[in-house]
Amino acid sequence: MKTELYNLKQQLEDAISKENDYPGSIEKLKENTAMIDDALGLLKSEISGKGFDGETDEISFFKAFKPGILSLKIHQIYTYNLKLNEPVDTRETITKYYASEIKSIQSFFRINAFHYQYFKNNLNDMDTVYFIRNAAPLALPTEDVNDLDPVFSTPMSLLFAKFLGYESVQKFCLQQIAFVSETPGKGGHDPKDGLKWTGDSINIVELAYGLYLTGQLNYGNASLNQIVRWLEANLEVKIGSVQRRFTEIGSRKRLSQTKYIDQMKDNILHKIDQGNA
């Protein structure tokens, strides 16, 4: 089931991702949330019919896969409303607006401090209580009302989805503050002062997948599309459809399929051999 879940989540992330990190219009918000709801419905149907291969499989689903998909919906709705209510005002006012939202999110994390630390540190000693259906009531109740569907929820699956969603919203707020501060004409620096990707764009696809598959960003919770959008925005490069570009990598015949990463490795090893690392 893990491969099927991964593919479903990846397809969903690709379908709702755009240059901006929020839906943009109410029509797009409805379209995106409908796709997410359809995916959740499909997952529920699969689980009801096939069940899980064992306790470990069930924990993995309710600890990571379902929260990961549900967090996309949380992010879409939250960021849409943030942009909808963004003040048309000075840079300082807009910055305060997003900074206030970050404080609100951090307050939520503090209220749920015990479970948030469990989430952040990827602990597992309570997994059989938190992420198994029909488990005993929590000894330490959560601040929030839980999803009560006995077939498709566990005591902590919704809260973990909120942790993921709110962390991505927090990042969005920081991006908006940076955008206001750095956009020319609004008192920021000229983007030309920064770094720009001047290599082949296919190479950055290798880099993006490497960062994603090894879980280097946001404790492994950053999605592939988040990483791609971050690289595009910060290195002034246009990647296009990341799945299509990855297919190009996979179809290489005469060259190594990981040509760029192999080249990086060779150059680093050569530098080490020179004794000047």
List, for residues 21-30, the tens digit of each pLDDT value: 678 788 888 9
Q: How many CB atoms lie within 10 A of CB 144?
A: 13
Res 153 pLDDT > 90: no
Domain boundary among the residues 128, 158, 189 is at 189
Domain boundary among the residues 151, 173, 189 is at 189
- Mean of all residue pLDDT scores within the chain: 81
Give residue 149's pLDDT band: very low, low, confident or very high (50, 70, 90): low
Q: Looking at the structure, do residues 61 and 132 belong to the same domain, yes or no?
A: yes
d(CA 273, CA 234): 32
pLDDT at residue 193 in the model: 53
pLDDT at residue 215 in the model: 86
d(CA 41, CA 81): 25
pLDDT at residue 192 in the model: 47
Which residues lie closer than 8 Å to 244 by C-beta, 6 or more apart? none
For the ranges 14-18, 81-85, 164-168, 194-198, the one whose mean pLDDT is highest: 164-168
d(CA 25, CA 33): 12
Domain boundary among the residues 157, 189, 221 is at 189
Tens digits of per-residue pLDDT, 63-118?
Answer: 998 999 999 999 999 999 998 888 877 788 889 999 999 999 999 999 999 999 99
Give residue 4's pLDDT band: very low, low, confident or very high (50, 70, 90): low
Which residues lie closer than 8 Å to 134 by C-beta, 6 or more apart? 150
Res 188 pLDDT > 70: no
Provide mean pLDDT across the span 226-232. 83
Q: Looking at the structure, do residues 81 and 128 belong to the same domain, yes or no?
A: yes
Q: Looking at the structure, do residues 48 and 102 belong to the same domain, yes or no?
A: yes
Q: Looking at the structure, do residues 137 and 234 belong to the same domain, yes or no?
A: no
Q: Looking at the structure, do residues 92 and 115 belong to the same domain, yes or no?
A: yes
Q: Looking at the structure, do residues 240 and 157 belong to the same domain, yes or no?
A: no
Res 142 pLDDT > 90: no
User: Is residue 86 a contact partner of residue 101, using CB atoms and an 8 Å limit?
Assistant: no
Give residue 146's pLDDT band: very low, low, confident or very high (50, 70, 90): very low
Tens digits of per-residue pLDDT, 253-262?
Answer: 666 778 888 8
**Percent residues over pLDDT 70 in the chain:** 83
Q: Looking at the structure, do residues 222 and 182 belong to the same domain, yes or no?
A: no
Give the phi and the psi of residue 250 in degrees, each rounded to 5: -65, -25
Count: domains in the chain: 2
pLDDT at residue 194 in the model: 66
Q: Looking at the structure, do residues 159 and 253 belong to the same domain, yes or no?
A: no
Q: Looking at the structure, do residues 210 and 175 belong to the same domain, yes or no?
A: no
Q: Is 164 exposed, middle or buried (0-12, 13-18, 19+ CB in 10 A)?
A: buried
Give the phi and the psi of residue 220 in degrees, each rounded to 5: 85, 5
Range of the domain at 11: 2-189
**Which has more confidence, 240 or 32?**
32
User: Is residue 219 a contact partner of residue 123, using CB atoms and an 8 Å limit?
Assistant: no
Provide mean pLDDT across the span 162-169. 94
**Confidence (pTM):** 0.62
